[in-house]
Amino acid sequence: NVISNHMPTAELQALDTAHHMHPFTAGAELAKTGARIITGANGVTLTDSEGHQILDAMAGLWCVNIGYGRHELADAAARQMKELPYYNTFFQTSHVPVIALSAKLAELAPNDLNHVFYAGSGSEANDTNIRLVRHYWAIKGQPNKNIIISRKNAYHGSTLGGGSLGGMSGMQNQGVPVIPGIHHIDQPDWWSEGGDKTPEEFGLERARQLEAAILELGADRVGAFIAEPVQGAGGVIIPPSTYWPEIQRICDEHGILLIADEVICGFGRTGHWFGTDYYGIRPHIMAIAKGLSSGYAPIGGSLVCDDVAETIAQAGDFNHGYTYSGHPVACAVALENLRIMQEEKIVENVAQDTGPYLKAKWESLTAHPLVGEAKIVGMMGSIALTPHKESRAKFAADAGTVGLACRTRCFANGLVMRHVGDRMVISPPLVITKAEIDTLIERALLSLDETL
Ligand code: PLP
């Protein structure tokens, strides 16, 4: 009774719903429809158990930056598994893949982010970031400087720490109180919340909420501000141009550590190695995961500046770590991924060639009657669906219903786009070609027509 790709889809679906609890999924609903079962993938294209070919405009979960089917990464994993499948990095031990990856990341990262603390995922990296910030300020003699300011509708992971940093009420309403010492301010979503203000005015106003919160709580109590350069899971909210420079000024003036959550934006997504490079900001700590290995192996981490890393190193043991911190196989896969990205100039290509091509096509979607705002940075974009463009109206009665309908049409038309409420978002593999971008846009337009 071997369970394999050759089993009928309905049988696989029945076993799936009987035994597998899916993340972020209504289990009872899924039991009625059955999951779509993906059996293989190559480049930007998925194959499902019924033989459909689907263009994956989400790169899995924003992670398969290099595209599917790169056997070099499988070979790197196999080589490393044979040589040294596991060893830990605790208690004064190390190994070559973790040393090589750390040196490579220090070379790629901006400013003096020269140190890496590894995790198995982005959520764990953000838990580490909470520990780093609080430990750092305690060593500096300011144990009360332990509040971390974050943003509503942000996503920083699903652990207790990550979920508390994040601002998704849907998660926090499910019996998981936000851990103490986290404070949320509003997001810079001009389309939904900007009212009569220009995007620039609104960007400044929302950034200054950070300053107001610091003044209210006390700069001696606020240790850090954390944000995604572009809010991803919140609906690809691209901030107005005034937002990040003002945030940087506020963090500098009030002595607050800046944490950039680069879990989505990192590794080429914006057409730069990091979202912070795109915005010219100088974080003290970055969370990384996803594109680090293009999703081929689970790995995440915190990139840490000299001051924070050296302060912590001088203070004795940092009592924190995961069994899989710096896992040799994941490190070997990440290294191979980064080697290919550099050799094939994937980030440069997004910045100079395919990114601008996608941007022009994506922004032209505003000609469609359902589409209000269409925004994109590098290869992460969103469109806001609206019943009335001029007033930037929402489908008030049942936010998300139209988005869900559009996503369902996309699926039927061979395209994975995600919906966040009534925003449709894309984040395709960075290797998508111009011909594939044409296909993406054609299928998106067809699906929008069918959603009308
Ligand atoms: N931070 C951001 C910005 C993310 O988008 C995500 C996941 O989507 C995470 C953190 C959590 O990462 P993981 O799912 O690897 O724990």
**DSSP letter string, 196-207:** TS-HHHHHHHHH
**Ligand 1 pocket, 436 CB below 6 A?**
no
Domain shared by 164 and 307, yes or no: yes
What are the tens digits of pLDDT across the range 171-219? 888 877 789 999 999 999 999 999 999 999 999 999 999 999 999 999 9
What are the tens digits of pLDDT across the range 335-390? 999 999 999 999 999 999 999 999 999 999 999 999 999 999 999 999 999 999 99
The predicted structure's pLDDT at residue 399 = 74
Q: Read off the pLDDT of each residue in 295-324 and give the average, rounded to a whole number.
A: 98
Residue 350 gets which letter from DSSP? I
What are the tens digits of pLDDT across the range 214-252? 999 999 999 999 999 999 999 999 999 999 999 999 999
The predicted structure's pLDDT at residue 99 = 98
Tell me, yes or no, whether 283 lies in a domain: yes
9 three-state secondary structure: helix
Residues 129 and 304: their CA atoms lie apart, in Å, by 9
Structure-derived torsion over alpha carbons of residues 168, 169, 173, 177, reported in degrees to the nearest 10: 70
Tell me, yes or no, whether 435 lies in a domain: yes
Nearest residue to 420 (alpha-carbon basis) of 400, 450, 396? 400
Q: Which atom of ligand 1 is nearest to the CA of 120?
A: 15
Q: Which range is least confidently modeled, 10-14, 174-178, 278-282?
A: 174-178
Nearest residue to 329 (alpha-carbon basis) of 367, 352, 297, 363? 297
Q: Dig out the tokens for 14 from the structure.
A: 């029945």
pLDDT range class, residue 274, cuts 50, 70, 90: very high
Tell me, yes or no, whether 425 lies in a domain: yes
For the beta carbon of residue 89, count every other beta carbon within 10 angstroms.
22
Nearest residue to 320 (alpha-carbon basis) of 121, 66, 135? 135
Domain shared by 153 and 206, yes or no: yes
**Ligand 1 pocket, 156 CB below 6 A?**
yes
The predicted structure's pLDDT at residue 125 = 98
Domain shared by 322 and 407, yes or no: no
Tell me, yes or no, whether 253 lies in a domain: yes
Domain shared by 53 and 154, yes or no: no
Q: Dmax of the chain from CA atoms? A: 65
The predicted structure's pLDDT at residue 275 = 98
pLDDT range class, residue 397, cuts 50, 70, 90: low
Residue 232 gets which letter from DSSP? -
**Ligand 1 pocket, 109 CB below 6 A?**
no
Domain shared by 58 and 174, yes or no: no
- Strand 371-377 relative to strand 380-385, pairing: antiparallel
Percent of the chain surpassing pLDDT 70: 99
**ipTM beyond cut 0.95:** yes
Residues 283 and 246: their CA atoms lie apart, in Å, by 14
Residues 257 and 115: their CA atoms lie apart, in Å, by 16
For 186, the domain range is 72-343
For the beta carbon of residue 390, count every other beta carbon within 10 angstroms.
7
**Ligand 1 pocket, 275 CB below 6 A?**
no
The predicted structure's pLDDT at residue 149 = 98
C-alpha to C-alpha distances, 53 to 16, 120, 138, 433, nearest whole angstrom: 21, 31, 54, 16
Mutate to test the pocket of ligand 1, among 226, 259, 263 (most ligand atoms within 8 A of CB): 263
Q: Read off the pLDDT of each residue in 133-144 and give the average, rounded to a whole number.
A: 98
3-state DSSP of 258-321: EEEECCCCCCCCCCCCCHHHHHCCCCCEEEECHHHCCCCCCCEEEEEEHHHHHHHHHCCCCCCC
**Ligand 1 pocket, 440 CB below 6 A?**
no
Number of structural domains (the chain) is 2
Tell me, yes or no, whether 256 lies in a domain: yes
Ligand 1 centroid, distance to 156 Cα (angstroms) = 5
The predicted structure's pLDDT at residue 177 = 76
Residues 327 and 95: their CA atoms lie apart, in Å, by 9
What are the tens digits of pLDDT across the range 326-345? 999 999 999 999 999 999 99
**Ligand 1 pocket, 155 CB below 6 A?**
yes
Domain shared by 277 and 302, yes or no: yes
**Ligand 1 pocket, 233 CB below 6 A?**
yes
Tell me, yes or no, whether 3 lies in a domain: no
The predicted structure's pLDDT at residue 119 = 98
Domain shared by 155 and 284, yes or no: yes
The predicted structure's pLDDT at residue 400 = 86
What are the tens digits of pLDDT across the range 404-449? 999 999 999 999 999 999 999 999 999 999 999 999 999 999 999 9
The predicted structure's pLDDT at residue 172 = 85
Ligand 1 centroid, distance to 390 Cα (angstroms) = 34
Q: Read off the pLDDT of each residue in 81-86 and give the average, rounded to a whole number.
A: 98
Q: Which atom of ligand 1 is nearest to the CA of 300?
A: 15
Q: Read off the pLDDT of each residue in 131-141 and give the average, rounded to a whole number.
A: 98
Domain-terminating residue out of 299, 317, 343: 343
Q: Which atom of ligand 1 is nearest to the CA of 298?
A: 15
Domain-terminating residue out of 343, 374, 394: 343
Domain shared by 208 and 309, yes or no: yes
Tell me, yes or no, whether 229 lies in a domain: yes
Report the predicted TM-score, pTM, of the whole model to 2 decimal places: 0.98
- CATH number assigned to the domain comprising residue 367: 3.90.1150.10
Tell me the Ramachandran region of residue 268: left when phi exceeds 0, alpha when psi lies from -120 to 50, beta otherwise: left
Nearest residue to 104 (alpha-carbon basis) of 350, 299, 323? 299
Tell me, yes or no, whether 115 lies in a domain: yes
What are the tens digits of pLDDT across the range 39-82? 999 999 999 999 999 999 999 999 999 999 999 999 999 999 99
